[in-house]
Structure 1
Amino acid sequence: MLGLIKLYTVPRYRRMMKGIAKDAKKRGLTTSDYMRTLGSSDLARYLVPPIKPMDVERFGLPPDAKITTKPLLPKPVRDAKVAHAAGNWQPGADLLAGIGKDWDRRSSVVSLLGEVAADDDTALKAWRAARPDDADAAAVHADALTNVAWQIRSARQAKYVSAEQFRGFQRVLDEADEASQTAAELAPDDPTPWATRCMIAMGRQYGHDEFRTVWDGVLARDPLHVHAHARALQYWCDKWFGTNDLMWTFAEEGAAKHPKLAWLPLAAAFEASFAGVKDAWRDKRVEAALDRLLPWLDGEGRDAPDTPNSRAFAARALVELRRGTEAVEQFRHLGRSASGRVWSYSGYGASHEFRTHRNRACRLAK
């Protein structure tokens, strides 16, 4: 009974208990008896807040059933990913060779292949055996090892990570660091290994001066590198090794460089809001960032590799600012893709978060 009383003191659990009580009554059972029939997945279902029905198709948006959390990739990238997962490294190698020094696009493909290789490195091993000094294979190898390390650690707070996990995490990070240095030596002009090293630096708990040394390596090769800025913003968050002020400073400095980085203050507002900062989305820096970002998304940046992620941040910011018509327009561009980072923090899942804010946008647009 005491446990039930505690549940009722928390709004989200109170909602869960009301839902359970309602369903128990339908079945002619007491709440306690009905709860004994429920597994953990059943209880989780009751915790998810309902999404108010909305006819999103009236606004030219795809129905809920078609929403996917998987990135909607261009065909050449999708084909390379599928081939890599099947053990064939050649399409990925050809794709990277064709990209050349388009650093943002190169980094996005390296990250994608690195994620695949972290789960199954068959193709990567064959690639490195066939071309031992291939800089592209080395960059994917470093990224893959970094992914493996973070898989071992998990995304949970440090207090929930076991000592054994931490030991495995640090051991693989050491390998990743060595691999990233090798990749950097094979392609001295390439910022991609340095962007990978930003993630390694977080895992190895670099101090500010150490991290800035890595960051200087990125800036020397590409001062506008999108993926590196995304990773560095995490470092400067209060939840990692920075503060709210340091995060905002970094975001503003990045946004001032180029419109394609104007999503950074939106990401800062999101992180601050997630950390409990009241009215973070109402910060004047958010509107200023949108003024720079939105024209770029509709023009030069329409087909940039990280545009879907930037649009997702823009859509969320516009909803929070109650600019519904503009938010709906961003959701039209996003289509059925709920793969943006801004949706991924929710304990209810990215699809639920995406649909919730999309519905809010439509209600505001009415």
Structure 2
Amino acid sequence: MPRLPGPLGLPRMLRHFAATGAGLPADDEVEFDAPDPRVREACEAVRQGRFEPAERLLARTRESGSWALRGEAAAELAGTLLESPGRLEDWWARRPADPDVALVRAEAAVDRAWAVRTGARASEVSAEQFAGFRALLEDAVPVLEEAVALNQGDPTPWVVVLAHDTGSRASREVFEDHLASALALDPHNWAAHTRAVQYLAAKWYGSHEEMFAFAERAAAASPAGHRLRGLPVVALSELALDARLDGDAATKYGPLARERVDRAIDGARALSAARPAGDRHLAAVRNHLAWTMIRDGRPAADTLDVFRAIGRHATAYPWAYLGGAAAFLEFRTGVRAKVAAETPFFGGAVRPPAPGAAETDAGGARRELALVPATVRQVTEAVALTGVTYRMAPLARTGITLVEPAPSQEAAGGRWRSGLRRSLLGEGDLVRLARSFTAGEPWPVLVVSRVADRYGLSLVRARTLVTSHFWDGPDGIPSHDEADAVAAALVAAFPKGDRKRVTAALRAPGRDRGPLDAVLAALRLPALPETYGEGYEILADLPEARLVARRGLGSALRSSLSEDPADPKSELPPLGL
């Protein structure tokens, strides 16, 4: 991870850190290996026992030759079906000799074996795990043969065979024959090439030099702009994970000359710069590129541009080798801190995102609202010192005030103290901000969120996140006890609520807004505005909404001390415009 700044860099980091978040999604908006929406929809239908969407999708990919989407769909559907033992064989019994189901069966057979082995290093895998792994791989052979036979002209089952070859210690001759079969049908198949990079890695059956040379040849033979042009950086990422290679530039890449390393990184950077930010198709290249640039000591500002291009499309690898999802977020934060610390305190500015980057200003990345059982005046006094501009709207005859951050109403740039506050309090995350403005207050705050396509809620009280819940669809239904524990905390904060109804709503399988609305109704809380979840800063359209602008410490204290509680006008929040 990039080194955090020393004492001299700390003031610069505090001043500029917020600016480094431009163009980056919030941490909880990042998704790892997020499937294509069409694949996600098919998987959710399968979880509900409906196979028709999956059958239609797989048939379309086979007929149109959409091999990348076909491979992704087969892999995701296999993983989904492995969660429900017996369902895949029921599907096969209903559609025997179907090429699409045969492909999913082959993927599941190999995935089942690798799940037993796990992704740990060989030295960390037990003898029992290895025995189970090899037995399941042997069982998978006839399933693979059937999938290949039923899918003539399709490279996708051959890609699954390559994964089997790596686990079964297939000879070089056998592996190369299978690779040739895949590439004869699709010469620039990304999945087949990445399987080969793994097989040729030093940790499996090749060497750093052999793996990297293969990637270089594949990149050179691919069309301009094709993602295979970034394959050398995937191989370099694998090499950079070798702890034995370290030291100065002459030794840390083992057999690779410096110019080959530079060519791999610079080629991937050029490929990334030519494609839109957030492009799922290039996500794997960009994630490996970010790691290799960090490992190579490239300028933090350049690496930050790559994280902006990644957007919310993080990939499992290479981060799984480094600690998983937390590693991606920690490295990204480390790069941001380094950029901020290297930016001059006076007269310096963080380089803005490139045109086309999905810019997300502080507080605008999530669709969030807070429901507060307090008056607008009470909430105004509580939020006055948080250093963030808020918009509030009282709900008539309910005793509830709706609150949202209003970053669009803050002056561009601002004083460095604004950056300091955002660095310490969080960049507009309403849950974090609620932890600040509930200090010493008797009332709770219920934050309702939409992050990407997931709805959720979080209960904050007395600076503490008491509980939270997100609806993850049919595959993420909590147990009754887990849901009841969340319901108990919610009803303790809102005593008029019906605990049984809240528990039932928390266990609803949907990912739309319905279960969230049901929880609010069960808690006897008012319904959200109809436009909630569809846009940002939705309170701006309400005539009764008031803006509470960010204020400095002195002005906030003076305002608070000068207001007369007996004056009915003091119930209105001071406007900051």
Could you tell me which runs of 5 or more consecutive residues in structure 2 were left unpaired when the two chains were aligned. 1-12, 247-251, 344-577
- 8 Å Cα contact 1:114/1:144 also seen in 2: yes
Partner of 2:49: 87
Alignment check: 8 A CA contact 1:327 1:361 kept: no
What TM-score do you get using the length of structure 2 for normalisation?
0.50
Amino acid at match of 1:89: F
Q: For residues 65-107 of structure 1, give each alpha carbon's deviation from its aligned partner in whole angstroms, at most 9, with x where no partner exists.
A: x154533333222111222233322212211222231112211
Aligned amino acid, residue 329 of structure 1: D
Report what 1:139 is aligned to.
103
- Which piece of structure 1 moves more, 147-156 or 97-106? 97-106
1:130 and 1:192 map into 2 onto residues whose CA distance is: 23
State whether structure 2 residue 35 is matched by structure 1 residue 59: no
Amino acid of the structure 2 residue aligned with 1:92: A
1:39-78 aligned within 5 A: 54-55=17-18, 58-64=21-27, 66-78=28-40
Q: Is the 8 A contact 1:146 1:199 kept in 2?
A: yes
**Kindly tell me: are residues 302 and 329 of structure 1, through their superposed partners in 2, closer, same or farther at Cα, counting changes over 3 Å?**
closer
Question: Which position in structure 2 is the counterpart of 1:335?
Answer: 311
TM-superposed deviation, 1:208: 1.3
Change (3 A) 1:195 1:132: same
Deviations 1:297-322 (A, max 9, x none): 45578787542112212222344352
Structure 2 distance, partners of 1:237, 1:56, is: 39
Aligned residue in 1 for 2:334: 359
Corresponding residue for residue 263 of structure 2: 288
Encode CA deviations 1:38-70: one digit per residue, 9 max, x unaligned. xxxxxxxxxxxxxx9843664321233x15453
1:159 offset after TM fit, Å? 3.4
Q: CA deviation at 1:337?
A: 3.6
- Residues 301, 207 of structure 1: alpha-carbon distance in 2 compared, 3 angstrom cutoff: farther
1:272 has 2:239 as partner: yes
Distance 1:224 1:112 in 2: 22
Contact 1:118 1:145 in 2 (8 A): no
3-state SS of paired residue (2:135): helix
1:260 aligns with 2:227: yes
| Cα distance in structure 1, aligned partners of 2:276 and 2:178 | 27
Shift of 1:325: 3.5
Name the CA shift for 1:326/1:98 in 2 (closer, same or farther; >3 Å): farther
Asked whether the equivalents of residues 190 and 221 of structure 1 are also in contact (C-alpha less than 8 Å), the reply is yes
Q: Distance in 2 between matches of 1:301 and 1:255?
A: 20
8 Å CA contact 1:297–1:307 kept in 2: the answer is yes
Q: Indicate the SS of the match to 1:322.
A: coil
Q: Do 1:110 and 1:143's aligned partners in 2 also have CA atoms closer than 8 Å?
A: yes
Q: Which has the larger radius of gyration?
A: 2
| Residue in structure 2 matched with residue 316 of structure 1 by the alignment | 291
Match of 2:364 in 1: none
Shift in CA distance, 362/286, structure 1 to aligned 2, threshold 3 Å:
farther
SS in 2 for 1:345: helix
Q: Which has the higher helix share?
A: 1
1:247 maps to a residue whose letter is M
Kindly indicate whether the alpha-carbon contact (under 8 Å) linking 2:272 and 2:309 is maintained by their aligned counterparts in 1: no
TM-fit CA distance, 1:190: 0.7
Runs of at least 5 residues in structure 1 that lack an aligned partner in the other structure: 1-51
Instruction: Kindly state the Cα deviation for residue 226 of structure 1 after the two structures are TM-superposed.
Output: 0.8
Q: Which residue of 2 aligns with 1:17?
A: none
TM-aligned CA deviation for residue 222 of structure 1: 1.3
Deviations 1:100-124 (A, max 9, x none): 3111221121111122223325543
Would you say how many aligned residue pairs link Structure 1 and Structure 2?
313
Q: Which amino acid in the other structure matches residue 103 of structure 1?
A: W
User: CA offset at residue 364 of structure 1?
Assistant: 3.6
Q: Are the counterparts in 2 of residues 248 and 265 from structure 1 also a CA contact under 8 Å?
A: yes
The CA RMSD over aligned residues, in Å, is 2.7
Contact 1:138 1:183 in 2 (8 A): yes
Percent identity (aligned) = 29
Deviations 1:199-244 (A, max 9, x none): 1111111121121121111121112111111111111111111111
Question: Distance in 1 between the 2:71 and 2:269 partners?
Answer: 23
Residue 160 of structure 2 is aligned with which of 176, 183, 196? 196
The residue type paired with residue 218 of structure 2 is G
Q: Which amino acid aligns with 1:333?
A: A
Residue number in structure 2 paired with 1:28: none
Identify which range, 118-127 or 165-174, moves more after superposition: 118-127
Partner of 1:42: none
Amino acid at match of 1:244: H
Q: Name the CA distance, whole Å, in 2 between partners of 1:331 and 1:159.
A: 33
| Partner SS, residue 263 of structure 1 | helix
2:82 to 112, 118, 129: 118
Closer/same/farther in 2, CA of residues 358 and 209 from structure 1, 3 Å limit = farther
User: 8 Å contact 1:56–1:63 — kept in the other structure?
Assistant: no
User: In 1, Cα distance between the equivalents of 2:257 and 2:71?
Assistant: 32
8 Å contact 2:21–2:336 — kept in the other structure? no
Query: Which stretch shows the higher mean deviation, 217-226 or 337-346?
Result: 337-346
